[in-house]
A and B are shown apart, each in its own frame.
Chain A
Amino acid sequence: MTRGPGTWRRYWVTFATIFGKEFRRFTRIWVQTVLPSVITTTLYFLIFGELIGGRIGPMGGLPYLDFIVPGLVLMAVITNAYSNVVSSFYSSKFSRYVEELLVSPAPNWVILAGYVAGGVARGLTVGATVMLVAMMFTRIEIHSPAVTLLVLCMTAVLFSLGGFINAIYANSFDDISIVPTFVLTPLTYLGGVFYSIDLLPGFWQAVSLANPVLYMVNGFRYGLHGVTDIPLGWAFGIILAFIIGLSWFSLSLLRRGVGIKS
C-alpha cells in the first residue's frame, strides 16, 4: 500500500481512537487511578515535610519539604504512567480484545504510541494534581517551566514503555505487580527522592548513577528549583537513551508477536 496523505490520516485516527479509549478508561475509574497517588503523596508531605522535615534541616541547599517535592511528584508520574499501560494492555491480552487491534491495519508503532500517550496522560494528570497538593504545603516558584514539563513528559514516556513491555511478558495479573514492587519502588526510593546523593559514600554514589530515576529526579528538581546533583545535559541524554532503547525493544516484541500471537 502506498503511503499517501490518506494513510497518515488513517494512522492519526487510529492513534486518536486508542488514546481516547485509554483516556476515558482512567478518567472513568478516577477513584482507582488518580485518587490513591494524591492521598499517599499528601501523607508524605504531611509526615516527611511538615512533621519530620522540620528536624532534618536543609538538603541540597533547600528546605527539606521543598527538596522532596520534585521526587514525590515524579514518583506519582512514574507509578501512574507505568500502571496505566501495564494494566490496560494486559487486560486487553487477558480478555483477548487485543485481537481487535491485531486484525486492524494499525501499524505496531501507532498501537505503541497510542498506549504510551494514554500512560503519559494519566501520569501528567496525577503529577499535576500532586503538584497542586504540594502548593498547599509550600510556595513553589517554577525555575524553568520548559525543563520541568520536558522532564515530566519524558519520564512518563519512559515508564509507559516499561509498563507496555511488562504487559507483553505478563501471563497473570500477579505478573503485573512484580515489576512495580521489586523494581520500580526500590529504584525510586534509591533515586534521590528523599536525599541528595552527596550524602552517600563514594561507592554508593557510583552505584546510584546507574539508576535512571536519579537523572529524572534531578532534572525535575532543576526545573523546579534550579538545583541538581547531576549536569542537566547528562540527565536528558540518559533519559532519551532509555526511551529509544525501550521503544525499539517494544516494537521488536510486537513485530514478533511475543505474548500476543500464537
Chain B
Amino acid sequence: MPPALAVTALVKTYRGGLQALKGVDLRVDAGDFFALLGPNGAGKSTLIGIIASLVTKTSGQVRVFGHDLDQDPEAVKSCIGLVPQEFNFNLFLPAGEVVVNQAGYYGIPRREARVRAERYLRQLDLWERRDTEMRRLSGGMKRRLMIARALVHEPRLLILDEPTAGVDIEIRRSMWAFLKDLNAQGTTIILTTHYLEEAESLCRNIAIINDGEIAERTSIAALLGRLHTETFVLNLKGRVTELPSLGGFVLNHVDECTLEVEMNREHTINGLFDALSRNGIEVLSLRNKQNRLERLFLDMVDQNHADARGAS
C-alpha cells in the first residue's frame, strides 16, 4: 500500500520572503498514528495547510495514498479530513447544518449527509446542540464540532492541528479515546500538539520540526530509549538532613522532606529503593520530574538553537 503521506523537498516561502518550510521530506505510513511536534512558528500549520490545499506550495511534491497533489487534487482532497488550528465556521449557522453542508461539499447527497452528521454529532457528544448557532457554542464544543465536520466524508487520513488546545481534561481524555478508536479501525491520523503527554500516550511515530526543517523522525519508543538519565522527585515520610551517598544515584535536596534522584539507565528503581531502605529513608510517593518526551524535546530544541548560534 502506498504511504498515507509522502512529502518530498517541500519548500514554502510566504509573500514577503519568510521561508516557513526549507525542504521538508516526510513519510507517514498508512494506519500510523503520527505526531508532528515543534515550537511555535516551526512550520507545522504551514505544512498541514499545504497538504490540505489551504496554502500554496513554492516547490516540492505532496502525495497522499499515492495521489499527487498537483496532478489529482480532487483525489487527494477526498482522502483527507482536516481539523484546523483556528476556528473557521460560519458563526450564524446551526451546528448540525455546518456538518451537513460539509458533507454536501464532498458530494454526499443530503439525505445520507444527515444520517452521517447525526452519527458523528452523537459520537462527539454534540447531538443535543445540533440546532445551536455556532457562535453560541463553547470553545471545547467548537473543537469537537471541527472533528465531526472533518470526519463526515469518512477520510482515510485525518489531520488535526492542535485539536485539544483549550479543551478541559475530561473532554481531552474522551477525545483521546475517540481518536485511538478511530485509528484502531484503520484511519491514519496525524496530529500536532504542544502537550507532549498527548503525543506520548497516543502516537507511535513522531517527527520534530524546527525552523522549517525536520529535526527528527523516529518512533516514540526509540526516542524514549535515548534518554540516558531520568530524574524522579521523592516525597519522604520523615525528615532527612544528611544525604547518604548511594553509588550510581545522584541525590539532591529540594527540602527536608523532598529529594530529587537522578539515575541512569544501568540502574533500576528497585535498586534505588533497596539503597534508600538500607539508609533508613522511607518514601511516600514518587513522580517524574518532567515528562520524558518533554525533556528530550527541550534538549533537542536547545541543541538546535546552540547550533544556530554556533553557525552564525
Known: A95-B91, A103-B52, A262-B55. A13 touches B86 (CB 8 A): no
Q: Which of A11, A20, A92, A102 contacts B107 (CB 8 A)?
A: A11
Question: Are A13 and B56 in touch, CB under 8 angstroms?
Answer: no
Main secondary structure of the interface of B (DSSP, over half): loop
CA gap between A95 and B67 in the complex, in Å: 30
User: Which of chain B's residues have a CB closer than 8 A to the CB of A173?
Assistant: none
Question: Are B106 and A95 in touch, CB under 8 angstroms?
Answer: no
Cβ proximity bits B55-95 to A, threshold 8 Å, 1 near / 0 not: 11000000000010000111101101010101111110000
How far apart are B255's CB and chain A's nearest CB, in angstroms? 50
B53 within 8 A of A: yes
B101 within 8 A of A: yes
A143 within 8 A of B: no
CB nearest neighbor in B for A107: B74
Main secondary structure of the interface of A (DSSP, over half): helix
Question: Are A257 and B109 in touch, CB under 8 angstroms?
Answer: no
User: Which of chain A's residues have a CB closer than 8 A to the CB of B42?
Assistant: none
How far apart are B121's CB and chain A's nearest CB, in angstroms? 16
A100 within 8 A of B: yes
CA gap between A105 and B88 in the complex, in Å: 18
Question: Are B105 and A17 in touch, CB under 8 angstroms?
Answer: yes
Question: Are A9 and B90 in touch, CB under 8 angstroms?
Answer: no
A1 within 8 A of B: yes
Question: Are A102 and B54 in touch, CB under 8 angstroms?
Answer: yes
Question: Are A261 and B56 in touch, CB under 8 angstroms?
Answer: yes
CB nearest neighbor in B for A29: B92
User: Which of chain B's residues have a CB closer than 8 A to the CB of A1?
Assistant: 67, 72, 74-75, 78
CA gap between A16 and B113 in the complex, in Å: 13
CA gap between A16 and B110 in the complex, in Å: 10
CA gap between A106 and B73 in the complex, in Å: 10
Question: Are B105 and A97 in touch, CB under 8 angstroms?
Answer: no
Known: A1-B74, A21-B101, A261-B54. A103 touches B89 (CB 8 A): no
User: Which of chain B's residues have a CB closer than 8 A to the CB of A100?
Assistant: 88, 101-102, 105, 149
Q: Which A positions have Cβ atoms within 8 angstroms of B? A: 1, 9-11, 13-14, 16-18, 20-21, 91-92, 95-97, 99-107, 257, 261-262
| A14-B104, A103-B77, A257-B56 given; 13 more Cβ-contact pairs under 8 Å | A1-B74, A10-B107, A13-B107, A14-B105, A17-B105, A95-B88, A96-B86, A96-B88, A99-B84, A100-B88, A101-B105, A262-B14, A262-B49
Q: Which B positions have Cβ atoms within 8 angstroms of A? A: 14-15, 49, 52-56, 67, 72-75, 77-78, 80, 82, 84, 86-91, 101-102, 104-110, 149
